[in-house]
Structure 1
Amino acid sequence: MSDVAAASPRPTSRLLAIVVLVILEATLVVTWSAGFVGIRFAIDHAPIFLILLWRSLVSGLVLLPFALAWGPRLRWSEVFPQMLFGALAMAGYLAGFALAISHGVPTGLVALITDMLPLAVAFLSWPVLGQALTLRQWLGSFIGLAGVLIASGWSLGMGDVPLWAYGLPVLGTLSLAMATLLQKRKPSPLPVHQSLCIQCLSAAAIFALFAWHEGGVLPVVETGFIGGILWLVFVATFGAWSLYYIALRKSSPARVTAILYLSPPVTMIWAWIMFGEPLSWAMAAGLIVSLAGIVIVARSSEAKPRCLRAQRQPRAVAGRA
């Protein structure tokens, strides 16, 4: 009787865990999309590098007291890798997609291009981790690229966007993929709030140089600029990046990037409602084709570790025998 009573709460606990997981994943999608929308809103009030500077600086300064008070003592051997990750994952990635939006590339298309992160991770896995791409990964990469070209082909006829601007989010995505692989190869012992603080301050130092060259580093005292920075700090940085790094530590990169597949359509709808950016069947078709390619890459990436574990299992059994 007691065993039955003890076992009865298990379905409820499992259902609660599923509900919590769904809420967390949905929050990650919304906050990740908020970064693109926030940049699109803020560029109407200030130069792009000034926005990125104050987004990163305020984020780092807010986190700094917590980073110094809670967590292990910061050592240079642990701080330096986080500075490198800040240059790649923060400065490189944010500058890539933000500059593209500032030059007129549609916000939804930028989100679609940066959502090619699984393809970039697969492409860079060989030089960084020594993992060659399988035939399925190559196939998925080409399908994903075809989807981006379909969506981009429609937007090329929209206005006077320079052709090279479409390459900016590609470079930013490659930068984030490199940081992701480096963190997987050498995981950080620091908690998320400490690593995120160091990365934000490192990115702020880089953005300060470009903002100075762009015209100055002082903030714009306007409601639009202040509101945009607060949105980018507390929603797009603390929300999106914290959830992203927590998810990377709790799950596989394939699952995390699979969750982010939903960010391009969410961003497209936001941009359509808030800024009147048009939607088209070509954008929808390109999105579907790209997601199909990403799913192929992600599933093949998950299948490879499973095959390796299956190959090792008989050896382990034989060793114990």
Structure 2
Amino acid sequence: MNQHTPISCHQQATPDRRQTLPLPLLEAGLILTWSSGFVGARFSLDYAPPLLVVFWRCVVVTLILFPFVARPLRQTSLAVLLKNAGIGLLAMAGYLAGVVQGIALGVPAGLAALFADLLPMGMALLAAVVLGQRMVWQVWAGLVIGLIGVVLVTHGALGWGNAPLWAYGLPLLGMLSLAVATLWQKHLPASQSLGLLPNLWLQCAVSSVAFAVVEGAQGSLMPIANTGFALSVLWTVGLSTLGGYGLYWICLRRATATRVASVLYLSPPVTMLWAWAMFDEPLSWQMIAGMAVSGIGIWLVVRSEGRQTSRQN
């Protein structure tokens, strides 16, 4: 194994219309839609328990996509379905439950978001320790610089809160769950990989069952009859799930896991721009500086991995 091989994909994406869109444009859409999930969670807190919104978010996506995925799913073997279901449980149920439930138990949202934004570092460490993969020092430097930018952006929102000590581990476990799912997906043979829509449907289907068990043990699963709840569900269905998770998996087929995860370093400042526009929350020069620092880190990662790919070709 080349000791300086980045975390790469074993499968090649089938040529389609997605390939005609430049990767940076897809990544810009990913940043925007991924950030919308935190905004949707912030909005929904005033109307319903967070996990109830997440449950109905998964149910609605499952119902919407079913007519489009029924045939390919019937033609897929049970073993392949089970593997992709496992990835879905980790990527969606594990990640969202860790972050959302941590906040519900009293972990400050800023601290939970910071733990979630450790995804690039967590993914790189897992790949190095578990898979034995190595990256050049410039990539590690870019990841560290990007993380420093995230800390600068979120510094003003950080605090310890009054949650039980163990609850602070939930967002971290959620991040690790998504990291494991991402690496698993990247190393899944092409013959065992589902298309985008069947993959999203399966993820939401298995996650809705998981959330039904968790939220059902605490209260009713019935939707709440108010406009705020309906808007929360529709927002997270369209932007956060179909947009955010959809673009995450599309970008993952076009680029390395390290690059895709590092791009999400820009999620915190974009989330704060959302909050400024929607909730009139203040902006600061420190946030802008942090965004610039994260941008430098992402540039280092993209540049270094681009050079590695050119050398290998």
Would you call these one fold, judging by a TM-score over 0.5?
Answer: yes
**1:90 alignment partner in structure 2:** 92
Using the size of structure 2 for normalisation, the TM-score is: 0.78
In structure 1, distance between residues paired with 2:307 and 2:285: 33
Deviation at 1:61, TM superposition (A): 2.2
Bigger helix fraction: 1
1:44 to 36, 43, 46: 46
For 1:261 and 1:194, locate their aligned partners in 2 and report how far apart those are by CA, in whole Å: 28
1:58-84, CA deviations, whole angstroms, 9 ceiling, x for partnerless residues?
112221222113467122111111111
Distance 1:231 1:160 in 2: 28
Deviation at 1:150, TM superposition (A): 4.2
Match in the other structure for 2:246 = 242
CA distance in 2, matches of 1:235, 1:216: 26
How many angstroms apart in 2 are the aligned matches of 1:123 and 1:302?
20
Per-residue CA distance 1:280-311 (angstroms, 9 max, x = gap): 3444444444444444445444544544x26x
Residue 13 of structure 2 aligns with which residue?
none
Matched letter for residue 27 of structure 1 = G
The TM-score with structure 1 as length reference comes to 0.76
Counterpart mapping for 1:4-83 below 5 A: 24-70=26-72, 73-83=75-85
Which residue pairs with 2:15 in the alignment?
Answer: none
The residue matched to 1:129 in structure 2 has which SS? coil
1:90-109 equivalence runs, <5 A: 90-102=92-104, 103=106, 105-106=108-109
- Among 195, 220, 226, the alignment partner of 1:222 is 226
Larger Cα Rg: Structure 1 or Structure 2? 1
Query: 1:254·1:302 contact (CA, 8 Å) conserved in 2?
Result: no
Superposed CA RMSD: 3.1
Contact between 1:89 and 1:175, CA under 8 Å: does it hold in 2? yes
Give 1:224 deviation, angstroms.
Answer: 0.8
- Paired residue total: 290
Distance change in 2, residues 1:161/1:272 (3 Å): farther
Structure 1, 86-95 or 109-118: larger mean CA deviation: 109-118
Q: What is the rounded CA distance, in whole Å, between the counterparts of 2:261 and 2:306 in structure 1?
A: 12
- Counterpart amino acid of residue 127 in structure 1: V
In structure 1, what residue type is equivalent to 2:241?
T
Q: Within 5 A, what are the aligned runs for 1:148-159? A: 148-156=150-158
Q: Mean Cα displacement is larger for which, 227-236 or 134-143?
A: 134-143
2:199 to 186, 191, 195: 195
Corresponding position of 1:231? 235
SS across alignment from 1:132: coil
Q: How big is the shift at 1:233? A: 0.9
Q: Is the 1:50–1:211 contact (alpha carbons within 8 Å) kept by the matching residues of 2? A: yes
* DSSP 3-state at the match of 1:186: coil
Query: One-letter code of the match for 1:41?
Result: F
| Structure 2 counterpart SS, 1:87 | helix
